[in-house]
């Protein structure tokens, strides 16, 4: 099987999320001369020594592994920017700071394969670690605010990996609340106990529904 994740929960596996992140664009500085590449995912190059150009992350890593380029650390991965983000994350307990959708995977790939291109790499590594922890904590505490009649959850700026981690739990919780909150479910208790409690069609709903704006994800075991 081509790395198929369990379709019953329709979750992406962590390698699948990383696979998606590898298509994000990043700037490289080649140290070789190479003709333009006409690939299925787009045309890149021509590559000239010391002239920066944009390529997908997987291509950048492949060239980097062969020592044919250096990767330019994206702006958001500078110590200055990350420090700002961390501070802002700590100051706003109900909001996430805007970071690239795949920030976890991109930073991980760059730290693994291009650490010599990252200025102040130790600082960057620990800042990203801290940011992840603060955000995960927010997600955890955000989950506590879900209750019956939560019809929609808005998760502005939540990243791909964070979505993936929180998905199974979040979906099950919302489903359970939705099911037990349905008017038919409540009525069925007193009409017939033997009837299968199947929620096929949803009747009128109370007008005081809520939409929660929270933060999300729990730690992987």
CB of 154 to another protein, least distance (A): 5
The piece of 84-92, 108-116, 131-139, 201-209 that touches another protein (CB under 8 A) is 201-209
Examine residue 20 and tell whether it contacts another protein (CB under 8 A): yes
Upper half-sphere CA count for residue 5 (Cβ side, 13 Å)? 12
Radius of gyration (C-alpha) of the chain in whole angstroms: 23
Whether a cis peptide bond, with omega within 30° of 0, leads into 46 is yes
Examine residue 194 and tell whether it contacts another protein (CB under 8 A): no
Rule CB under 8 A: choose which of 29, 48, 62, 88 binds another protein.
62
For the record, the structure tokens of 105 come out as 């995977």
CA 76 – CA 53 distance, rounded (Å): 18
CA-nearest of 148, 127, 130, 150 to 138 is: 130
CB of 207 to another protein, least distance (A): 5
CA 133 – CA 130 distance, rounded (Å): 5
CB of 166 to another protein, least distance (A): 9
For the record, the structure tokens of 32 come out as 């070789």
Examine residue 71 and tell whether it contacts another protein (CB under 8 A): no
Q: Enumerate residues 6+ apart whose C-beta is below 8 A from 142.
A: 94, 214, 215, 216
The piece of 78-86, 111-119, 130-138, 196-204 that touches another protein (CB under 8 A) is 196-204
Contact map string, positions 125 to 164, toward another protein, x by CB under 8 A: --------------------------xxxxxxxx-x--x-
Instruction: Report which secondary-structure segment, H or E, holds 88.
Output: helix 79-91
Rule CB under 8 A: choose which of 27, 68, 108, 185 binds another protein.
68
- Using CB under 8 A, list all residues that contact another protein: 1-5, 7-8, 10, 12, 19-20, 22-23, 25, 34-35, 37, 39-43, 56, 58-59, 62-63, 66, 68, 151-158, 160, 163, 167, 170-171, 174-175, 178-179, 199, 202, 204-207, 209, 211
């Amino acid at each position: 099987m081509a790395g198929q994740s369990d379709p019953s929960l329709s979750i992406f596996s962590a390698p699948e999320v990383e696979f998606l992140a590898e298509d994000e664009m990043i700037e490289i500085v080649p140290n070789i001369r190479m003709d333009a590449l006409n690939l299925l995912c787009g045309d890149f190059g021509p590559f000239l020594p010391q002239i920066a150009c944009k390529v997908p992350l997987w291509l950048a890593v492949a060239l980097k592994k062969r020592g044919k380029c250096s990767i330019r650390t994206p702006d958001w991965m500078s110590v200055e920017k990350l420090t700002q983000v961390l501070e802002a994350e700590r100051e706003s307990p109900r909001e996430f700071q805007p970071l690239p959708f795949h920030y976890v995977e991109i930073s991980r790939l760059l730290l693994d394969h291009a650490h010599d291109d990252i200025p102040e790499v130790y600082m960057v590594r620990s800042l990203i670690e801290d940011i992840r922890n603060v955000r995960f904590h927010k997600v955890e505490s955000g989950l506590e605010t879900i209750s019956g009649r939560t019809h929609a959850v808005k998760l502005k700026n939540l990243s791909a990996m964070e979505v993936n981690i929180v998905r199974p739990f979040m979906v099950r919780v919302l489903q359970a609340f939705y099911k037990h909150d349905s008017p038919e479910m409540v009525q069925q208790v007193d009409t017939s106990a033997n009837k299968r409690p199947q929620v096929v069609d949803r009747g009128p709903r109370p007008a005081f529904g809520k939409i929660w704006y929270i933060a999300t994800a729990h730690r992987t075991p």
